[in-house]
Amino acid sequence: MSTTLYTKINPDILNQLSAAVGAENVFTDQSSLADYSHDETEDLRYYPEVVVKPADTAAVSALLKLCNEKHVPVTPRGGGTGLSGAALPVFGGVLLSMERFKSIISIDTENLQATVEPGVITEEFINAVGEKGLLYPVDPSSKGSCFIGGNVAHGSGGPRVVKYGTIREYILNLEVVLPTGEVIWTGANTLKYASGYNLTQLMIGSEGTLGVVTKIVTKLIPKSEFSVLMLGSFPENETACAAVSAIFRAGIIPSALEFMERKGVEWVVQYNDIKFDLKDGINAFLMIEFDGNDMDTIFKDCEKVNAVLEEFGCTDVLFADTAQQKEELWKMRRTMAESVKSNSVYKEEDTVVPRAALPKLINGIKEIGSRYGFESVCYGHAGDGNLHINIIKAGMSDEDWKDKLKDGIAELFQLTADLGGTISGEHGIGLVQKEFMPIKYSEIHLNLMRSIKLVFDPNSILNPGKIF
């Protein structure tokens, strides 16, 4: 896609934009353009030509209709917490911020469903349904600032996927504005759906390239009364990773199963003011949560897991009993990405493999790192086989970081693919991973994706330059 295909914003288009969405929702001041020129992806910056903040479906429809006619690129943006650059306006044009779609429209306690707008912050939604005794279990680490619409766009996960399933199980129906301005509901407000191609599922994970989501119907489930959180300490990464699949083989499904490398914990302690007694000889941790309505059952599962952990050389198990202890441990895990960022320039990869392949993955990461001269710190949703690899620039020269590292990352993804996995489990492809897609997907496969894109967006105006 060449930028020459796109029309630059000119005063005439700007006037029409204002007419379409309301002048008060259109921003061209330098400060706004700068604010929306980046997300959480590395240190990348791309400036939009105009920022638009509509507040309803009709305005989004009018905006897209106009931009489709004029061939103006539109980049939708949620909370701006993305790690793959999907919200970066690489061709300029319109940055469409969904931040004014902030309403939790309804929480239907009869049907255990909710209807929300995409600009609702994920944690606020979780809390709102929690007050009614209900659970929406999709809680990425960025839950305090990410939007539920961005979660849909990226197929986001979080720690509780391991028990409760992915976001795909919780999104029932979507109101979507197509790039041409038409509005559809993708499915029905039902738990099952066998009525033609599932456009709801196609929209999930499409990173804002097929349409702009303006309403979301979610499934909810009863919230468990109790939870217990354990932290197991291991001398080695490999044995901690090996314990993961053994836990499931013992017949147990925890409500979370997270892996953390020592260095990640060190940096959290250093940069996030979290107190934690980090013992010598400990190099890896598993954080394991159980939930349920019966403490006896939870304790039985804890005992079974304890036995598995010991078998894999776990030297110490900490139980977080109080709500505060649990919150501190979860904070440690959730703030790891930002702590790593505080320490050094870094790149984050989001590998996912079948879970028994985790030991091979982590050993492979370190081996590739030693050949390319990069350090790494890994953590993530080990129960799903999903490991976030933070590659640290540290002592690497700017040149190597810019030129040589790419080959190392390609090797990482080749390893991931060889282990039966793929390039991203929950962060998406966006801008920064798209060059690696051919490692996993054939040209035929990528062309199917490209052609589906053109079905929805014949003029390629919506979030161009992403995924493929």
The gap from C-alpha 63 to its chain's centroid, in whole angstroms, comes to: 27
Binding flag, residue 14, a copy of itself (CB under 8 A): no
Q: What angle do CA 350, 356, 362 make, to 5 degrees?
A: 50
Binding flag, residue 105, a copy of itself (CB under 8 A): no
- Residues 371-390 touching a copy of itself, rule: CB under 8 A, are 381, 384-386
Binding flag, residue 395, a copy of itself (CB under 8 A): no
Contact 240, 293 (CB under 8 A): no
Binding flag, residue 182, a copy of itself (CB under 8 A): yes
State the alpha helices, DSSP H only, in 167-261.
199-203, 237-249
- We find the least distance from the C-beta atom of residue 429 to a copy of itself, in angstroms, to be 6
* Contacts of residue 6, Cβ cutoff 8 Å, sequence gap at least 6: 71, 72, 73, 91, 92, 93, 461, 464
Question: Phi/psi zone of residue 133: left (φ > 0), alpha (ψ -120 to 50 degrees), beta?
Answer: left
SS3 461: coil
- Residues 321-360 touching a copy of itself, rule: CB under 8 A, are 350, 352-357
- Residues 425-444 touching a copy of itself, rule: CB under 8 A, are 425-429, 433, 437, 440-442, 444
Token couple for 347 = 């790149």
- Residues 234-253 touching a copy of itself, rule: CB under 8 A, are 245, 248-249, 251-253
Side-chain-side CA neighbours of 448 within 13 Å: the count stands at: 5
Specify burial of residue 277 (Cβ count, 10 A radius: 0-12, 13-18, 19+). exposed
Binding flag, residue 106, a copy of itself (CB under 8 A): no
Binding flag, residue 422, a copy of itself (CB under 8 A): yes
Contact 175, 58 (CB under 8 A): no
Token couple for 305 = 């897991």
Binding residues for a copy of itself, rule CB under 8 A, total 93
Binding flag, residue 459, a copy of itself (CB under 8 A): no
- We find the least distance from the C-beta atom of residue 298 to a copy of itself, in angstroms, to be 10
Among the listed ranges 123-131, 178-186, 228-236, 363-371, the one in contact with a copy of itself (CB under 8 A) is: 178-186
- We find the least distance from the C-beta atom of residue 73 to a copy of itself, in angstroms, to be 20
Which of 3, 15, 293, 315 contacts a copy of itself by CB under 8 A?
293
- We find the least distance from the C-beta atom of residue 241 to a copy of itself, in angstroms, to be 13
Binding flag, residue 262, a copy of itself (CB under 8 A): no
Q: How far apart are CA 89 and CA 47, in angstroms?
A: 6
Binding flag, residue 93, a copy of itself (CB under 8 A): no
Binding flag, residue 45, a copy of itself (CB under 8 A): no
Q: How far apart are CA 103 and CA 126, in angstroms?
A: 13
- We find the least distance from the C-beta atom of residue 156 to a copy of itself, in angstroms, to be 8
Task: Tell me the one-letter amino acid at 293.
Answer: N
| Partner residues linked to 320 by β-bridges | 229
Q: How far apart are the first and last CA of the chain?
A: 10
Binding flag, residue 461, a copy of itself (CB under 8 A): no
278/448 with CB nearer a copy of itself? 448
- Residues 142-161 touching a copy of itself, rule: CB under 8 A, are 154-157, 161
Which of 103, 190, 227, 306 contacts a copy of itself by CB under 8 A?
190
Binding flag, residue 456, a copy of itself (CB under 8 A): yes
Sheet holding 50-52, edge to edge: 26-27, 50-52, 94-97, 74-77
Which of 10, 133, 307, 316 contacts a copy of itself by CB under 8 A?
133
Nearest residue to 436 (alpha-carbon basis) of 463, 466, 409, 405: 409
